[in-house]
Copies of this chain bind each other. A is one copy, B any other.
Amino acid sequence: MTETATEEKIKEAARIVFMEKGYAAAGMRDIATKAGVNLSLVNYYFRSKKNIFQIIMLEKMHIIFGNIIPYMVDENTTLEEKLNHIATVYIDTISEDPNLPMFVFSEFQKNPEDFSFLFPIKKINFNEISIIKQFKTIRPDINPAHFMLNFLGLTIFPFIAAHLFSKMNTGIFDNIQTVIKERKSFIPLWMKSILETNLTAK
């Protein structure tokens, strides 16, 4: 491997510390301690806090978007297959790192300038990717943004709300991680119903 053991230990510690505390509250000392190395080694390998953070952020962006875009652009699957596949894969992926969505959305919001250059996704015109084209043939009357917000909201929001909801003793969010996994098979069916909903009613 090209990375030394020390470098990888520091990177792994940085992943944990940044994900737990966010950029601002994370300290270089936290990272060094968690990695079991001397403070100055963190700077030796990564030069600055901002630099190591951007490396971690780029990794996380790839996980959160890189695992979803390829299925969205695939011209050889139906819309139903896409929804099935993405819901399943995505919930499994994020379940291994459940704070990922909050981390990415929240850190991006705080310093958009620092990350706008990180977009490999930046160039993608959603109007021309398969999943949106398929949606448009079924529902030309609805802005595809609604479709994406619905799908991602049903899939991702539970991870974002999990901490707060499970701590507020409501009696219904006690095994929220189990509930989230049930959603793998439910979300595609709910999305189908949403797709068929007549919005001019009432």
Contacts and interface: CB of A to CB of B under 8 A. Distances in A.
A5 interface: no
Query: Chain B CB within 10 Å — which of A20, A23, A143, A172 has the most?
Result: A172
B193 A196 contact: yes
Interface stretch (A7-15, A30-38, A39-47, A175-183): A175-183
A193 B197 contact: yes
Contacts of A104: 164
Given A105-B160, A163-B109, A164-B104, A172 B144 contact: yes
A149 B158 contact: yes
A146 interface: yes
Interface residues of A, number: 66
A115 B173 CA distance: 18
Nearest to A196: B193
A181 to B, nearest CB: 12
A36 to B, nearest CB: 24
Interface of A: 20-25, 99, 102, 104-106, 108-110, 112, 116, 119, 121-127, 132, 143-146, 148-150, 152-154, 156-158, 160-161, 163-164, 167-173, 176, 179, 182-183, 185-186, 189-190, 192-194, 196-199, 201-202
Given A153-B153, A154-B154, 14 more contacts: A21-B24, A22-B22, A102-B109, A119-B169, A122-B168, A123-B169, A127-B172, A143-B182, A145-B176, A146-B186, A153-B161, A189-B199, A193-B196, A193-B197
